[in-house]
Amino acid sequence: DALHFSVLTLFPELLRPFTQEALLGRAAANGLLKFDLHDLREHAGNRWRKVDDTPYGGGAGMVIRVDVVERALAALPSTPDEVILLTPAGQRFDQRLAEELAGRQHIALLCGRYEGFDARVEGLVTREVSIGDYVMMGGEAAAACIMEAVGRLRPGVIGDEESWRADSYSSGLLDYPEYTRPAEWQGHGVPQVLMGGNHAAITRWRRDRALERTLARRPDLLPGAGLTPEDSSALLT
Ligand code: SAM
């Protein structure tokens, strides 16, 4: 069954290319993923298509109305089993959450603009998610991140299932460095072990580089990485 994403946004055309190009586009064409983009203005309920209003209590900016969101959700082709509000105040998005979301059938992604939504929108969503500790102008880029990270975990979306198991975060370690032709570039060669055919040595080398990189860049990941005794002694040397 296809994993279905419905995006509710003031700028549906911003997301369109993500649903039509590259691997997400191919997965949609093959029926593995399904995307629909909904313009919140269609549910404004007034002929000016106005979805926002000034904040009670005063202050700068405009706030998107909760009744508009309610109507937009009610008009979806089916009832989502996850409704995600994109907000910098949400739970931080990570690989573990991507894996959990990959088990859903229908995910609605609610993208804000301006000052965001009326706080009562909380009652309409299952979860509030942030993609990181920074503030963007709208939720569309965050929705694209979630579709990219979750979509690729569905069977068949990326060619070889092995290719995501070794990726950074899925294995618990950062990915090892990869090389391709040319073998010599501006005085930089390629590690000798990769040029030979000793697969056990290549596997060990890659694991060691992944350990080394994780230790240097993200030591916080090591305790959760499920290290073997061999890994631990490699780290100590
Ligand atoms: N006043 C809001 C706050 O401080 O929480 C920020 C609103 S922001 C300018 C406009 C919209 O961009 C938000 O409603 C949200 O959908 C989206 N957005 C901005 N940064 C985000 C982030 N780090 N993660 C997810 N969505 C974000």
What's domain 3-151's superfamily in CATH?
SPOUT methyltransferase, trefoil knot domain (3.40.1280.10)
- Residue 86 CB-half CA count within 13 A: 27
Phi, psi of 7 (to 5 degrees): -110, 130
Task: Please work out whether the CB of residue 61 comes within 6 Å of at least one atom of ligand 1.
Answer: no
| Domain locations along the chain | 3-151, 166-236
What is the band of 161 on the pLDDT scale with cuts at 50, 70, 90? low
112 is in an annotated binding site: yes
**How much distance in Å is there from the Cα of 223 to the middle of ligand 1?**
32
CATH of the domain spanning 166-236 = 1.10.1270.20
Question: Who wins on pLDDT, 159 or 182?
Answer: 182
- For the residues 90-94, what does the mean pLDDT come to? 98
pLDDT at 63: 98
- Per-residue pLDDT tens digits for 55-67: 999 999 999 999 9
Task: Please work out whether the CB of residue 55 comes within 6 Å of at least one atom of ligand 1.
Answer: no
Task: Please work out whether the CB of residue 139 comes within 6 Å of at least one atom of ligand 1.
Answer: yes
- Among 40-44, 88-92, 222-226, where is mean pLDDT lowest? 222-226
Angle at 154 between CA 168 and CA 134, to 5 degrees: 50
How large is the ipTM? 0.98
- Give the active site residues: 88, 115, 152, 167
147 is in an annotated binding site: no
**How much distance in Å is there from the Cα of 115 to the middle of ligand 1?**
8
Looking up tokens 């072990």 gives 193
- Per-residue pLDDT tens digits for 165-174: 667 777 789 9
